[in-house]
Structure 1
Amino acid sequence: MIPNPHPAHDPAAIADRITAFNQSEFAQLLRMEITEADDGYARVIMNCGQKKNPHGVAHGGAIFALADQAFGIAANCAGTDRVAVSVHIQYIAPATGDLVAIAERVADNGRCSTFRVMVYEGERTIAQFDGVAFRVSPGTE
C-alpha cells in the first residue's frame, strides 16, 4: 500500500477554512464555491454568467480569480498560513459556461510551495495557473 503523502488533518478545521473562503466577499461576488479541499488540493467551481467580456466569453479576470481562489484554499486549508509571492496564468481557450479549477501542490521545500491550477469547462482546458506560496511564520505578518 502506498502511504498517503498528505497526513490526516482536523476535518473540522478544514471545514472552517473552506467556509471562511466561501463566505469571503469576493468569492460571494463572483459566486465561486469550493467543493473539495485538503492540504495541497482544492476544487472550486464558478459559472461564467454575468462575468463575460465584450466578446461574450468569460473575462480573463474572472478566470484568474477562480484559479487564485483554488490556489489560496489549497495552500491554506490545513492550518498553515501561506501567501502568494508569484503567479502566472496562461489562457488557452475561451469559456462561456461552468468552470472548474483544480489546484494541486506540485513542490514544497518547507518554506515555499508551488501549485498548479488547471481550469476546465467540461473536458476542455481553459487556463493553466502556476503559483508560488510562501509559508508565513507566526509573528512575521
Structure 2
Amino acid sequence: MLDADVASRALGIELIEIGEGSATARMRVVPTMVNGHDIAHGGYLFLLADTAFACACNSYGPMTVASGAEVSFVDSARVDDVLVAVAQERTRYGRNGIYDVTVYRETPQGHDVVLEFRGRSRTIQREGG
C-alpha cells in the first residue's frame, strides 16, 4: 500500500517498522513544510501520523481506510527536525478499529512529543476480495 502512496513518498516518509496493528514511520521537516510562523504546517504533521495509522490498520491485509481522526498539537516542529510516528492499535471490533499515533521529535536528550492522533478505521474489503 505504501509503495503506491505518492503523497507520503513525495514527503520522504519512510516506513521503519510494521507489525500486526502497529507501524512506525519517519519524516524530516524540510523548508517547504513550514508555515508563516516558521514552524511545520500542521497538515504535514497530520499526514505523517495518518501514514503510520494507515500502515498499522492495513497490516492485516484487507483494504482499510480512515473513518475519522482527531489530533492534538502538543509542540511545534521546525526545519531539520526528524519526526517519528508510532501507531498502535487500541481495539478492533467488526470492521472497525481505533488506533493511537504519537509523533515525536528525536533529540539527543530523548523524545519530545509533537502530536497525538487518534484514528478510527473501517475495513472496506474482506480478506481475499
Runs of 4+ in 1 over 4 A off after TM superposition: none
1:125 aligns with 2:113: yes
> Aligned match of 2:48 in 29, 44, 66?
66
Gaps of 5+ in 1: 1-19
1:27 aligns with 2:8: yes
Which residue of the partner structure matches residue 49 of structure 1? 30
| Structure with more relative contact order (C-alpha pairs < 8 Å, separation 6 or more) | 2
CA-to-partner distance for each residue in 1:31-86, whole Å, 9 max, x for gaps?
Answer: 11111111210000000113111111111000000000000000002312211111
Written as runs of structure 1 = structure 2, the 5 A alignment for 1:3-18 is none
Letter in structure 2 aligned against 1:106: R
Aligned-partner Cα distance in 1 for 2:60–2:122 = 15
Aligned-partner Cα distance in 2 for 1:26–1:57 = 20
Q: Give the structure-1-normalised TM-score.
A: 0.80
What is the CA-CA distance between 1:110 and the residue it aligns to? 2.6
1:102 aligns with 2:86: yes
Judging by fraction of residues, say which structure has more strand: 2
Letter in structure 2 aligned against 1:76: N
What is the CA-CA distance between 1:23 and the residue it aligns to? 4.9
